[in-house]
Chain A
């Protein structure tokens, strides 16, 4: 253990005792946290999770008092319960609550949780107690009437619009003009703010209003965006982008809060709305699902390579074998041929091939979204996991072929040489 880490641990143990010295301890702790760097902080996280806990000496007395109290004497019983509860309060939560109450402390706690979650994703064990306390604290922080919804429109501040433009990661933008288009006619954007951080939203959503479903991103933010405009009031709201700006708030359900509040707001504003739907990407479809299947890498999927080969029979199989690149192998395996054809840069420009591929690819994509699950039984695709977990539904009819032909869209959900 380094000297800095030892000092940070010592301060963490003392913070929360109250008094004027607490302020100095907090300042010292914050400085040390910054100086530790990522590796040192991982050591601090492990210590906080495994070592900073209530001591036996602190709870032995209250536990014994409760043990000997009679429930018939309500006053004595309740007092004993309260005393034991107080003695069991997590010293980690005391530390983080004290941190939150310092200037900029909330952002620090959010950043720390973000690092803890990332470490856990990387397989770091032993951080469960710390993550539980951080999650519990932030969940309380988000549940006390402190969240509020705002509509972001063309009258919103330049700072806000620029912030959203920079934080839009689902369909990123190059210019502010593109953001303005997303705030204009038949478009809307709503953001959820926390009263403690009123300058930046914690999560925001972009909505397209239309007559009927929009089935490609080009109809929402591309060249075809104006083609579906109607003089009639909209009957459909399409949520096409949800972005969280604070990774430290992951898993706390803020996106669900946002969807709920936005549907209420939109209903009030557009009584003609009948349908609420998303237009969502299918991340991972090509690199983590279809490609491994076609190349014969067994990843334990429900869909087998043999089943895919069956989908590729007849004219499609012949077309694939005929079209495969000259440098590719010469055997007559249609699955391998499909992988090779899809990896070439120009397959989307061949209308005949697209016509033949459309149905099998949509069938495979449907299986990926609706049937493939992870070890916990949750949808393998994270976006499907979010929406289906909310109770939304997916159907074959609502899968859209070649609906995002941007380089990013292709890399995520369709084959591309960039993958």
Chain B
């Protein structure tokens, strides 16, 4: 169960950070979409 020798995989930082930025943009987009419904519904 315990992986004492764990080492962060190479390239993982960049990949995870890129995906987080992408998801953050999508989440902002989803909030904006909800807000537009409040103005127009």
Chain A partners chain B: no
